Amino acid sequence: MDAKIDQLKKWVAESDNIVFFGGAGVSTESGIPDFRSVDGLYNQQWKYPPETILSHSFFERYPEEYYRFHRAKLVIDGVKPNRAHLRLAELEREGKLRAVITQNIDGLHQAAGSKNVLELHGSVLRNHCTRCGQFYGVERIVNSRGVPRCSCGGIIKLVDIAPECDVHGDFVEKASKLCTVSIAHTATDYDGAVDAFKKGVTHATHLYNAMSGLAHRAPGVVGAVFDNENVCGELICDGIHIHPAVVRTTFKLMPERVCVISDAMRLSGVEDGGQGMLGVNMVTVKDGKATLPDGTIAGSVTNLHAELKNLVSWGIPLETAVRAMTLTPAKEIGMENEIGSLAPGKRADLVVLDENLEIVAVYH
């Protein structure tokens, strides 16, 4: 071991082009726990596994539980840079260290004086609203309760409502100032939908399903969506919820306003005949169709890849179908500057398909 340390010292002494790559072990001497040791975060007991809590999907689904963990374990008062942080900063000042690349989120490299620090996982010291991008320091997180809220609303991206359930008549107007409001599972008619659109509804959850349809004397919610250029409609394209001819017609009428969704429930991927619970109801899957005991469709068991193949086979241009699954949904939740298309500064999330629309690779 001494020989290896001596060799490392020699390399540092002779080099003026050093890049340091570090992780949790660098900050343990400062009193910040690592992840995988006996006393690490991943081995501590919580309602959910800490490794799960730290995932982006958990943050979106259970934000209150995430922030409880965040405040308790990720923001630690009184920590200071240790000898490793300080020495790296010295090497930078001496012109020997070009950059620090770190997986840590504690900001201790900067506190020690390092200038060129690349944080792979960001920092607890810098927080941005998921909706508008407004910056907040760590104090905002520590001093707030529950889920921190931005003045723009933040966190919540879309909320559904049946307009007839808005008994006070002001929910849509208030909610639409904070997020996208969608009409869903409603018994209202054309006039009720139009009124909701005037108040601020701009989205329709699984168009045609669980709403009044289009008839020549009673245009219903579907007719209201067709008639309003500011409203986007979701389509479940599994070949079960909506007939392919209706899908084609909808794309012809509002090609820029279709948002393709799966509406998939927990039995997605099970073999034919599989069963499971949806709330308090038993659901059975047969011939790709998920139904309740009375035959009511209970969501789908499809996925967007299968739906893309369906759409192309039904005559929808590939580019149109892809847009309806990517950029349009991103716009509907106000995240088109981060996801939905490939552009500088956006997430590099993509699926590569071959000429037969089979998946070749997935990048995230």
22: nearest Cα among 103, 94, 92: 103
**HEC states along 23-53?**
CHHHCHHHCCCCCCCCCCHHHCCCCCCHHHH
| Catalytic annotation present for 206 | no
Any residues with CB less than 8 A from the CB of 278 and at least 6 apart, and which?
A: 265, 266, 292, 298, 299
* C-alpha torsion angle, residues 200, 228, 161, 187 (rounded to 10): 140
Quick one: 6 exposed, middle or buried, by C-beta within 10 A (0-12, 13-18, 19+)?
exposed
Q: DSSP letters along 223-253, please?
A: HHHHH-TT-EEEEE-SSSSS-HHHHHHHHHH
270 token code pair? 């099970």
Determine the 3-state secondary structure of 192 from DSSP: helix
Which of 56, 70, 85, 121 is the catalytic position? 121
Task: Tell me which residues are annotated as active site.
Answer: 121
